[in-house]
Amino acid sequence: MKTWWKEAVVYQVYWRSFFDTNGDGYGDLEGVIEKLDYIEELGVDVIWLNPCYESPDFDNGYDISDYNSLMRKAGTMETWERLLSEVHKRGMKLIMDLVVNHTSNQHPWFLESSSSKDNPKRDYYIWKDPKNEKEPNNWRSYFAPSVWEYDERTSQYYMHSFAVEQPDLNWENAQVRQEIYKMMRFWLDKGIDGFRLDVINLLAKVEGFPSVENPNDINYLGNNPGIHDYLQEMNREVLQHYDIMTVGEIPFVTPEDGLLYVGEDRKELHTLFHFEVADDMPTWDMTRFKEIQARWYEGLKGKGTNSQFMNNHDHTRQVTRYGNDGEYRIESAKLLATMIHTLPGIPYVYQGEEIGMTGVHFDSIDDYNDIAMRNKYKEEVDKGSDPQEVFESLLMLSRDNSRTPIQWDDTDQAGFTTGTPWIKVNPNYKDINVKQALADPDSVFYYYKKLISIRKENPVMIYGDYKDFSEKDENLYVYTRSYEGITWLVILNHSDEKQVLSLGKGLDVAGKKLIIANYEDVTGEESIQRTALRPHEARIYQI
């Protein structure tokens, strides 16, 4: 079935790092409004806005203390409403980040819940008695050694899958669920176009809360019995009544499990982020990547829709982590884009990716803000590890790699703010910035723009069958997408060396139409039955 959201390209706006209009060092919604023409120019359809609700901001807005009002740093409700209408005016859509596995510990619900054992909201969160004077079980949290935090006032522990400041809601409680549904309607009735649902598969917890054999492999936090009842209820009560797009953040899933969330007959969610790449593939691994793509393609084929992304606000920028951010930065950024936009699934562009922004290496832990990194650093140093070694081991995957401000131009602070930015600007902003990209017709930006625009005229990019012709190759990735008699051949050399390509029968491109290429001298008439592809070279032909 064809739908608007299957055909969309989504642009993720991490607003605090986007553009600051009042000099306080934080990007803000006014800044997003000011730069909407830039986003529109890229040609994307949907904007995913990271959380901008009232929050003490321990985890950059993922710790919400009031779902119905705006974080002061972001702006006012009036600004937000203007943002929505300006997005719509430009023919784009806006999806909001829905964080309902947990709230902030400053949320009035938690303040009440923690005040006494017989408070009517006690059951809004997950409270347990100590076991042998210790934690109720050995579960590890994403951002802390234990999911349990002891609260002296009532001599019980509460559960937090993330930081201590992010207590998990108790989804078993029907009143909690109704409160959440009401809040979702509040935003939907304002006219938003959908939700990105934060760690949505964590809502249901393992019954009985048993200790596990290997607490470090935290997959027991997700995909537990009951989760699909919650999502089907959410769909019935809220989602199905609106023409929206929903994308679930769903760690630890196989395609079989994934289909239970996004199967078109399931009435749960439209699409998902699985993390077989971003969480489980630390550095580039071509054959593994192909294996993941093939398995997900087969698993969801004709039944559900995948998403394609290699970075976001939690994961190091793709050109640094999975590509080449040095000599071949531009070619590599374009190759990765070619891949993401031609593999089956909805493509996501994380702000700054479209100009090939890179990760960072700051000098000291004090330059970092990421609560995941800081907590892990403290945990390891407290255990007695060498601080410098711990620091260095955390650099590559620090979430701040992707959170540095957008580099607008080569002026002070990359033109992001007139004040002091909440996190340092990447020092390479003099070379890599939006102003430069917009002035150069061969920039990464215009390559993205072209890829996105050809998607609009070519349903083969969206609905085409996928076939890999290069399964075992460590460097080359050669695949086709086919739809209604049209076949596109995608050829990628994901390596720093020349690679000899030999195309099998039926794949010759002689005289065939070149759709796009990331080396300027490729024009499309040549036969490349056997040819050498240059480092990070990417081409698409219609054959």
- In the complex, the residues that contact Ca ion under the rule CB under 5 A are 20, 22, 24, 26, 28
Nearer to ligand TEU, 310 or 335 (CB): 310
- Out of ligand TEU, Ca ion, none, what residue 279 binds, judged by CB under 5 to 8 A for its kind, is ligand TEU
Sort 34 into a burial class: Cβ within 10 Å, 0-12 / 13-18 / 19+: middle
Q: Which is nearer to Ca ion, 20 or 370 (CB)?
A: 20
| Cα dihedral 169/171/172/175 (nearest 10) | 90
**Do 43 and 449 form a contact (C-beta atoms < 8 A)?**
yes
Contact assessment for residue 143 and residue 155, using Cβ atoms and an 8 Å cutoff? no
Comparison of 202 and 492: residue with beta carbon closer to ligand TEU: 202
Chain centre distance of CA 345 = 14
3-state DSSP percent of the chain in helix, strand and coil, to 5? 35, 20, 50
Nearest distance in Å: CB 56, ligand TEU: 14
Q: Which long-range contacts (CB under 8 A, 24 or more apart) does 212-215 make?
A: 212/137, 212/138, 212/139, 215/138, 215/139, 215/140
Among Ca ion, ligand TEU, none, partner that 261 touches (CB below 5 to 8 angstroms by kind) = none
Listed residue (305, 235, 273) closest to 4, CA to CA: 305
Judge residue 153's burial from the number of C-beta atoms within 10 Å of its C-beta, 0-12 exposed, 13-18 middle, 19 or more buried. exposed
Between CA 324 and CA 350 the distance in angstroms is 17
Query: Nearest residue by C-beta to Ca ion?
Result: 28
Smallest gap, in angstroms, from Cβ of residue 85 to ligand TEU? 27
For the bound state, the minimum distance from the C-beta of residue 72 to Ca ion, rounded and expressed in Å, comes to 10
Smallest gap from residue 59 Cβ to Ca ion (A):
19
Compute the least distance from the CB of residue 283 to ligand TEU, in Å: 16
Nearer to ligand TEU, 94 or 432 (CB): 94
Q: In angstroms, what is the minimal distance from the CB of 297 to ligand TEU? A: 21
| Binding site partner of 199, from ligand TEU, Ca ion, none, Cβ cut-off 5-8 A by kind | ligand TEU
Tokens 């979702």, residue?
Answer: 184
Give least dist CB 163 to ligand TEU, A: 8
Cα atoms in the 13 Å half-sphere on the side-chain side of 320: 22
Q: How far is the CB of 228 from Ca ion (least distance, A)?
A: 41
CA 313 → CA 50, 267, 338, 420, distances in Å? 9, 28, 21, 21
H/E segment holding residue 513: strand 513-517
Distance of CA 225 to the CA centre of its chain: 25
CB under 5 to 8 A by kind: which of Ca ion, ligand TEU, none does 22 bind? Ca ion
Short-list 145, 156, 147, 85, CA closest to 117: 156
For residue 171, give the nearest of 250, 240, 131, 227 by alpha carbon.
Answer: 227
Q: In this structure, are residues 353 and 339 in contact, taking their beta carbons and an 8 Å threshold?
A: no
149 binds, among ligand TEU, Ca ion, none (CB under 5 to 8 A by kind): none
* Alpha helix segments (H runs only) across 301-356: 318-321, 329-342
Indicate which of Ca ion, ligand TEU, none lies near residue 275 (CB less than 5 to 8 Å, by partner kind). Answer: ligand TEU
Q: Please list the active-site residues.
A: 198, 249
> If we measure between CA atoms, which residue out of 470, 284, 287 comes closest to residue 479?
470
Cβ closest to ligand TEU, residue 180 vs residue 489: 180
Binding site for ligand TEU (CB under 6 A): 59, 62, 99, 142, 162, 198-199, 249, 251, 275, 279, 313-314
Nearer to ligand TEU, 11 or 429 (CB): 11
Nearer to ligand TEU, 59 or 473 (CB): 59
Burial of 384 per CB tally in 10 Å (0-12, 13-18, 19+): exposed
Q: Which is nearer to ligand TEU, 44 or 373 (CB)?
A: 373
Q: How far is the CB of 91 from ligand TEU (least distance, A)?
A: 27
Phi, psi angles (nearest 5°) of residue 8: -80, 155
Nearest CB to ligand TEU, comparing residues 135 and 249: 249
State the binding partner of 353 from Ca ion, ligand TEU, none, CB within 5 to 8 A by kind: none
- Which two structure tokens, joined as six digits, stand for 6? 């299957």
